Amino acid sequence: MSAATTGRSGRGASVAVKAAVAIMCLVWGSTWLVLKVGLEEMEPLGSAALRFMLAGVLMAPIAPWIARREGGAAPTWDLVFAMAIGNFALSYGIVYWAEEVVPSAHAAILWGVFPLVTALVGHVYLPTARIVGIQWLGLFLGFLGVVALLAKDLDTLGGDAVTRGTVLLGSPMVSALATAYVKKHGQDVSAALLNRSALVVGGALLWAAAWAFEGGITLPTTPRSWFTVVYLGGFGTVLTFTLYFWVLRQASAVSLSLIAYVTPAIALVLGVFVGDEQVTVWTGVGLAFILLGCGVVLQRSKSVK
């Protein structure tokens, strides 16, 4: 193969990676508002159950095809349950419950602390991911952003908005814990097979929770509500996670850090201009501090690799 051919191939792969990251940012940025729309008719746990069971069904025939190309062993049950509970059932169960009250833009911004929480979990759980130096400043800045959103922004909504917003912070925490566990114990496992099995188990757990706490699952009765389920299950879960694992194999994980910056901003724009959600100057302050904190932590992570 000539150098010119290799160069074209490399540029093509680079363009494909950038396109995949852009798609993930756009879709994940839109899921917060679409989720909120679905909750107008459906209960939170039932809505989440439908999403992930649909995603599991769609992923079932795709996963073996991807697995043959990526390689890797079949996942063990501890890894499946870690991801099913931490990344799907518990994590998204919290998000759906919180968004009954919390605006979609605010929910996305609060979930934007995920890189900061991941850094904290890695510091404790992964010996090679210690927080050093200025990264602690990044965590502090992110904390200030959360305080601004909860105390100065969500507090104006009244009711239990602050409570639900605070509980929502548990979602990125359990997701980071599950991700750290899978990273530590699942290095040689097929990501596609793990994702498929976790989606099915996570959907089943949410289904059981919906029956236990909501008296069953309320199926959508309008095309608008069915669209939210199909969009979130097909595009917001299967497409994005498939692209995520593909990009992870093609480029450094750090290159995906752009998602942490762009997704909350897209959710904010859609929430305001499409969802007619109300924001204040404190919304911007909270977003700015959280993104600045993420930037400090992620930039330092790049420099120590």
Mean pLDDT value across residues 127-138: 74
Is pLDDT above 80 for 4? no
Q: Does 293 reside within a domain?
A: yes
Amino acid in the structure at residue 98: A
Residue 26 lies in a domain: yes
Looking at this protein, which amino acid is placed at residue 234? G
Instruction: Find out whether 38 and 228 touch, Cβ atoms under 8 Å.
Output: yes
Residue 3 belongs to some domain of the structure: no
Q: What is the mean pLDDT of residues 279-297?
A: 83
Amino acid at 259: I
Domain for residue 201, yes or no? yes
pLDDT tens digits, residue range 81-99?
999 999 999 999 999 999 9
Residue 56 lies in a domain: yes
Lowest mean pLDDT among 6-10, 137-141, 282-286: 6-10
Which pair of structure tokens corresponds to residue 140?
């502090």
Domain-embedded: residue 189:
yes
Question: Alpha-carbon distance 261 to 290, whole Å?
Answer: 9
CA-closest candidate to residue 37, choices 102, 86, 104? 104
Residue-wise over 16-36: b if at least 16 C-beta within 10 A, else e? Answer: ebeebbeebbbbbbbbbbbbb
Q: Are 63 and 228 in contact (CB under 8 A)?
A: no
pTM of the entire structure? 0.86
Q: Based on the number of CB atoms within 10 Å of its own CB, is 304 exposed (0-12), middle (13-18) or buried (19 or more)?
A: exposed
Q: What's the CA gap between 141 and 134, in Å, rounded?
A: 11
- Name the residue among 23, 11, 15, 14 with its Cα closest to residue 243: 23
pLDDT-above-70 percentage for the chain: 88
Q: Is the pLDDT of residue 251 over 80?
A: no
Three-class secondary structure of residue 99 per DSSP: coil
How many CA within 13 A on the CB side of residue 28?
A: 27
pLDDT at 13: 57
- The closest alpha carbon to 52, from 232, 175, 225, belongs to 232
Can you name the residues that pair with 189 across neighbouring β-strands? 73
Beta bridge mates, 73 = 189
- Cβ 262 vs Cβ 29: under 8 Å: yes
Single-letter amino acid code for the residue at 241: F
- The answer to the question of residue 295 being in a domain is yes
Asked whether the predicted pLDDT for residue 174 surpasses 90, the reply is yes
Q: How many domains does the chain have?
A: 1
Q: Which domain holds residue 94?
A: 21-304
User: Identity (one letter) of the amino acid at 68?
Assistant: R
3-state helix, strand, coil in the chain (%, to 5): 80, 0, 20
Residue 74 domain-assigned (yes or no): yes
